Amino acid sequence: MTATSSIPDDFDDERILAVRRKTADYVRNEALLKGDQWELEGTIPHEDFRRLGDLGLLGLSHPVEYGGADMGPVASVVFAEELGRSTYGGLPEAVLIHTEMSSTHILHRGTPEQKRRYLSAMNRGDMICAVAITEPQAGSDVAALATTARRQGEGWLLNGTKTYVTNALYGDVFIVAARTDPHAKSSRAISLFAVERNTPGLRIRPMPKKHGMLSSDIADLVFEDALLPGNALVGEENKGFYGVMENFQNERLILGAMSLGMGRAALDLTLGWLRSRKAFGGTLWDLQANRHRIAFLSARMKAVETLVYDTARRGARGEECVREVSMIKALAGETLQDVTRACLQLHGGVGYHHGTAIERIGRDAGLMTIGGGATEVMLDEIAKRL
């Protein structure tokens, strides 16, 4: 997370409230009407990225000169939380990967030429961005990457396979991590590249349907002597490992905010269900065990909220937050699992019915303890800093 001079430090700031209102309005008036179709098609159409761009929501952390709002992590957290409330998890997954997990590499490490070429178009939604780190044999262990890039004339020759790449099927630009020094240790051997989808030697291979997040597309990227121009390098050669690690901090904060929104939506749905469902001469809400279960889960989500918001403020001030961000990723994802499991149970048979909002959140929640760093990896990161 990188501080900028104009970041508001208060979640009640009018600009922040406007982001929350606009995002909530988009979810209510557009996403909830289109979500079922998105899940059938397995993707969020370009036109909806453009719609979010028109609303000024795709470049909240980007400079004004590239069509951004220059508001930083505070606004991004609010945006992620409200998208997470949509009950269609593929929407925030696809959009936030575009805004907070891939285009950010160009924002923080790109050349002026790369920023001019890509950022404005990405903030308008005209270009969709993805990040390609994970490989068939390397997930959270970034140091184990096997994809290689070697110099070929004035350009680069890229070989290897990336997997689980969200936005890959219909995306326009991919931020790809590759090993550029076969002899150095991994932290000094990896570089980042901006790879356009029409690159010769790039094959985009659809993956099987996912368990959840059905409205975000996913694919493998297969590079077979893919020829990149010399200006495809993002940041310094052999310094990409540090870029990936730095970007993980923003990514994990944003995923925590997304989990917060998903959990809040699940609790709201369940509270309404318990208060309306007739049973045993009253409602399910009249049963103390049910009230207490929801009360405790609500308290846990409030703890997640406090940690997410406080860390976003600290990040906006440029403070070091690696331990807290790791805590967020672990706590938010695991709390969401407990919340959705309880909410599905309290809905009874309705919660097991495909296509209901609570069922969607339940299946989408499974990714939130895996993507962006598994809980086990996060706990190790925390332990190192205790």
Active site residues: 251
CA distances from 142 to 78, 133, 138, 326 (A): 29, 7, 6, 16
Residue where the block lists tokens 């593929």? 90
Q: Cβ(122)–Cβ(58) under 8 Å?
A: yes
Residues in the chain, total: 386
Distance CA 283, CA 35 (A): 31
Which amino acid belongs to residue 304?
V
Which amino acid belongs to residue 300?
R
Distance CA 284, CA 225 (A): 61
Distance CA 167, CA 31 (A): 18
Calculate ∠ Cα 58-4-124, nearest 5°: 20
Distance CA 116, CA 128 (A): 15
Distance CA 17, CA 21 (A): 6
Chain centroid to CA 355: 23
Q: Cβ(266)–Cβ(361) under 8 Å?
A: yes
3-state secondary structure 337-349: HHHHHHHHHHHHH
CA distances from 179 to 42, 182, 188, 296, 312 (A): 32, 7, 9, 47, 32
Q: Helix-strand-coil percent breakdown of the chain, rounded to 5?
A: 55, 15, 30
Largest CA distance in the chain: 79
CA distances from 210 to 42, 83, 121 (A): 9, 20, 29
- Which helix (H) or strand (E) element contains residue 194? strand 190-196
